[in-house]
Each structure stands twice: as structure tokens, then as C-alpha cells.
């Protein structure tokens, strides 16, 4: 059974109604990204960040996985599949994928400030001032700008074993995650699904310049997982 690693970004969830910030001048839902997606922003105004992610969690509850998420899951019928996602939503899980590495955390979880205690909270709102057992403020379980990406090494190990690497819905502009491409073996097949071709890549890749649902359908047909 060949091994597929799927590296997904915001573009795969955009068709489900999950907003992105990369295409809107650094604003995310009318907030500066530095204010709501950085560790400095947390220290400046944790209440703002908790409210912001409460809104994202409430939005997520009413979003559904789209055909791209479902087709990624369908690959498991014929391949050993690991999804490495930069997204904090749970649409890959709800779409049926069974092995997922969330590089940037999970919206439906909370943690203490050191991230040594992690709690499933579903879609419930967090309250500013709630504290963990160690006395620190509870915070969203998100990896913000300015923080280490603790699962990056796990993701790199998966990519190193890939026969096929599928990059879908990411501009390959956010490091260190964007560097994962270069861990793929020299003989791995690499597919990039995105309406816009990313900048120069020093690897041989096949581009599918379509939105995630259309591109993933084309690739699923090529990989023989559609009737």
C-alpha cells in the first residue's frame, strides 16, 4: 500500500465557509493578525483573543466538510494516508480522515499557558479569567506566530516516507510548515492543488490550478479512488 501525505492549508476549508486572512491585507475578520494570532497579542490582550476564537468556534459549528475533505478521506480506501494540516478546524476529522497532524493546534480544544494540560471543549465558548490547575489562564489550543510548532518533526517524518505528497489549499508561504515539501523523497510524486500557482519550487511538481474541491476530484480520479 503506497503512502500518501496530504499537506493542507486554509484553501481546503474556504469552500466550507471558513475565513482566511492571507488574501485580505493581513486582516482576519477585521482584526490585525498580530492582535489575534500571535503570542504577543495574547500577552497584550488575552480577552480579545478569547472572544475572537469563541467567534471562530461558533462559526465552525455550522460549517460542514466539503467534497475536498471527503475525497482526502476516501484515499484511505487504497492508500496509507496521513493528513498534515495547517488548519485549526476539525473538518478533516468530520470528513472521515483517520490520521491527522494539526500543526497549528485545534480550535475545539483549550489548554494552560504552557500547553501541558489540554482539554476538549467542543464548540463551547471560553470565559476570560478561567484558570488551569497550574494557575495560568486557560487559552485556546492554537500555535500562534511567535511560538514553536511542536509537531513539525512528526510531520517531517511522515513526509520523508511519502510515495505521494499532495499539497492542497496552501500558498506555501508560512514557514516552517512550508518547508515540509523538501522532506519528500526525490522520487515522490508531488501534486499542488491551488487556484494560484505558488512561487518557484525547486522540486518537480504537478500543478492542478483549481479550487480544492475541483482539483481534489481530478486527482482522486487519477489515483483511482473514484468509480
pLDDT at 200 > cutoff 80: no
Contact 12, 167 (CB under 8 A): no
pLDDT at 202 > cutoff 90: no
Cis peptide before 19 (omega within 30 of 0): no
CA separation for the pair 188, 53 (Å, rounded): 37
pLDDT, average across residues 103-129: 96
What confidence score (pLDDT) does residue 93 get? Answer: 98
pLDDT at 82 > cutoff 80: yes
- C-alpha closest to that of 82 among 103, 102, 105, 100: 100
The count of other CB atoms within 10 Å of the CB of residue 224 is 10
What confidence score (pLDDT) does residue 220 get? Answer: 97
- The 10s digit of each residue's pLDDT in 143-190 is 999 999 999 999 999 999 999 999 999 877 667 777 899 999 999 999
pLDDT at 98 > cutoff 60: yes
CA separation for the pair 132, 193 (Å, rounded): 41
Among all residues, which ones are annotated catalytic? 104
In whole numbers, what is the pLDDT of the chain averaged over residues? 92
Give residue 25's pLDDT band: very low, low, confident or very high (50, 70, 90).
low
pLDDT at 44 > cutoff 60: yes
What confidence score (pLDDT) does residue 170 get? Answer: 86
pLDDT, average across residues 183-211: 87
What confidence score (pLDDT) does residue 123 get? Answer: 97
pLDDT greater at residue 11 or residue 171: 11
Residue 30, CB-side half-sphere exposure with 13 Å CA sphere: 2
Amino acid at each position: 500500500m503506497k503512502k500518501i501525505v496530504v499537506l493542507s492549508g486554509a484553501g481546503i476549508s474556504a469552500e466550507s465557509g471558513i475565513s482566511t486572512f492571507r488574501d485580505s491585507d493581513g486582516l482576519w475578520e477585521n482584526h490585525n493578525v498580530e492582535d489575534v494570532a500571535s503570542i504577543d497579542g495574547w500577552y497584550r490582550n488575552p480577552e480579545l483573543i478569547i472572544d475572537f476564537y469563541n467567534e471562530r468556534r461558533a462559526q465552525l459549528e455550522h460549517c460542514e466538510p466539503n467534497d475536498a475533505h471527503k475525497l482526502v478521506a476516501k484515499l484511505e480506501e487504497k492508500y496509507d494516508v496521513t493528513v498534515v494540516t495547517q488548519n485549526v478546524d476539525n473538518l478533516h476529522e468530520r470528513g472521515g480522515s483517520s490520521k491527522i497532524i494539526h500543526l497549528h493546534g485545534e480550535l475545539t480544544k483549550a489548554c494552560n499557558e504552557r500547553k501541558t494540560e489540554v482539554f476538549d471543549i467542543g464548540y463551547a465558548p471560553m470565559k476570560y479569567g478561567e484558570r488551569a490547575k497550574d494557575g495560568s489562564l486557560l487559552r485556546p489550543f492554537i500555535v500562534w506566530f511567535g511560538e514553536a510548532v511542536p509537531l513539525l518533526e512528526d510531520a517531517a517524518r511522515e513526509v520523508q516516507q511519502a510515495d505521494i505528497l499532495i499539497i492542497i489549499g496552501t500558498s506555501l508561504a508560512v514557514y516552517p510548515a512550508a518547508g515540509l515539501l523538501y522532506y519528500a523523497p526525490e522520487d515522490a510524486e508531488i501534486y499542488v492543488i491551488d487556484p494560484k500557482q505558488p512561487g518557484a519550487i525547486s522540486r518537480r511538481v504537478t500543478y492542478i490550478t483549481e479550487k480544492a474541491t475541483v482539483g481534489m476530484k481530478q486527482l482522486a480520479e487519477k489515483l483511482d479512488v473514484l468509480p
